[in-house]
Amino acid sequence: MSNAPKQDEPFDPDKVPVKPAATVLLVRDGDDGLEVFMLRRTFSAAFASGMFVFPGGKVDEVDASTEIGDICEGLSDEQASSLLGIPSGGLAYWVASIRECFEEAGVLLAHHRDTDDVVRFDDAATAARFESERENIHDGSLALLDLCRRENLHLSTHNIHYVSHWITPKGERRRFDTRFFVARAPEAQEPLHDDGETIESMWINPHEAIRRHREGDLMLMPPTLANIEFIAAHATADGVLAAAAKVGTPTTILPKLKVDKDGRVIGIAMPGDPDYDTL
């Protein structure tokens, strides 16, 4: 159960916890060029209601299991933590991005341990089995680690690239320390929203997403828009992944809320804006 204050309750901004989170941009080459997968959050959501987002969510304790490294391909906790700029526990962010992608979109970024082939859901029996496991992982009755052991899978952490780091502004009722990742959408897995936390899903060209946002037709938070702009600079999924692999450790971005004399939020200041340092 969430301890975050309800919308109409007063709260102390200094006491709002900043929770670790991870989200992943799934990219592919569509018929009309580069596409990214997006979900729309339910309008009843406490955070980002009605917004279009990428699959993602909080980093859970299970993501940091001491055994999780056994199923992660080509990336150690030491390497992951170094990229994130933290002492330890970095691999949990990659694991969380994979778990949330599976829970929210039904896409499992994993491959068979024996063959290195990516997981495919192109036969009915396999698709049905993994859809059931998706529900079990979502409700906590099954751990991703146990699923991988049962199916003899490795998580494809070596093909998931860290590209940006955003922290929710102080003054929001819910705050997240979110790492954004980019990965190629696997073939023979068709993502779909869960009809619970998310109510709509689509593949969209990043330039189309930016245009629709500017026209007021696509609700995007600043981090979502910034990451779409990052991939929009490239024409293909290969181009995005090559650029993502070169990012290294990105600069942390902490926006600040602008408020009027009555304390009402009237805008957001970004690092580099003239009034950022005075807020």
Residue-wise pLDDT for 209-229, tens only, equals 999 999 999 999 999 999 999
3-state secondary structure of 15: helix
CB 157 within 8 A of CB 75: yes
The DSSP output letter for 172 is: B
CB contact at 8 A, 56 and 22: yes
Q: Which residues pair with 256 in a beta bridge?
A: 269
| pLDDT of the residue at 6 | 59
- 244 contacts 236 by C-beta, under 8 angstroms: no
- Amino acid 219: pLDDT: 92
Q: Which of 194, 219, 199, 198 is nearest to 209 (CA)?
A: 219
Q: Is the dihedral of CA 162, 168, 174, 177 positive or negative?
A: positive
Contacts of 241 (CB under 8 A, 6+ apart): 27, 159, 161, 182, 184
Q: What is the pLDDT of residue 3?
A: 55
Query: What does the pLDDT read at residue 192?
Result: 86
- Please identify which residue in the block is written with the tokens 């691999």: 91
Q: How far apart are CA 169 and CA 58, in angstroms?
A: 17
Residue 120: strand, helix, or coil: coil
Q: Hey, which residues does 202 pair with through a beta bridge?
A: 38
Residues pairing with 23 in the sheet: 56, 180
**pLDDT value of residue 1:** 41
Contacts of 105 by beta carbon, 8 Å cutoff, 6+ apart: 26, 37, 39, 55, 191, 192, 193, 194, 201
Give the Cα separation of 254 and 266 in Å (integer): 17
The owner of tokens 């490239």 is: 234
Instruction: Give the model's pLDDT for residue 195.
Output: 74
The reported pLDDT for the residue numbered 67 is 94
Identify which of 228, 279, 223 has the alpha carbon closest to the alpha carbon of residue 251: 223
Alpha-carbon distance of 109 to 94, in angstroms, equals 10
pTM above 0.85, yes or no: yes
Listed by start position, the domains of the chain span: 15-278
Q: Are strands 18-30 and 33-41 parallel, antiparallel or unpaired?
A: antiparallel
Mean pLDDT by 10 residues, the chain (279 residues): 58 91 98 95 72 94 93 96 96 98 96 95 94 94 96 97 97 94 95 83 97 95 96 98 97 93 87 91
Question: To which CATH superfamily is domain 15-278 assigned?
Answer: Nucleoside Triphosphate Pyrophosphohydrolase (3.90.79.10)
